[in-house]
A and B are shown apart, each in its own frame.
Chain A
Amino acid sequence: MAKQTLFEKYGGFSAVSKIVLDFYDVLLDSDEIGPFFDDVDMPRLIDHQTKFIASLLGGPASYTDEQLKRLHERLNLKDSHFDEVLATLGDTLKRHGFSAGDLALVNAALEQRRSVIVCRDVH
């Protein structure tokens, strides 16, 4: 039998939907990250967040590194931005009852993608 994903473990879409909305709120209010979303309309942003959280937790979405690179390359993101999202997401998941072990898993999965998200040319 297939191993249970975090997506299933924490209650499937009905629970994850609350995480997505919470994360959406926090990100938009963040002065570090928020400005990146200034010109993104709501449905698109929600779509991104839903897919992002779903793919992160092993739900019904997944991004290849190539896709992630293409999605982020124009944003010129720095390590500090990446760290901020990591911390924000960590807080959000903790509020929604994620265990320390599962948080570490999510963190590690995100860290693996750092190099495709953060822009390496400009420092």
Chain B
Amino acid sequence: MSSFQPINPKPYLLSLIDSKIIIKLKFNNIEYKGTLKSVDNYFNLLLKEDVIEIDKNMESTDGSIVGTPLNGELFIRCNNVLWVSQDLSDDDDDGKVEEGKQVDDDVDATMS
């Protein structure tokens, strides 16, 4: 039997610092894509300047996604977060982003 190595929520989020992530909010189908700068004990999140806001309801008919760049560091309050996951899509060609969320389920439970 292989040894199972647990990854706990906090170390997982800390390991995502400085990498591209996707944050989904609990409501309005909104996601934020950007680089994670820091996390605190409540799992409040701070994103670097490259963050874009994606309204999944505004998805255009050809499947491309409309993203609004925010041009500044962004603080997201912990209670609004549904899940956080590494952004596995190709490096941003602004707005047009591939879906790449195979690891979503790993973190679904961490935010409740």
Our verdict on whether A and B bind, yes or no, reads no
Interface residues of A (CB under 8 A from B): none
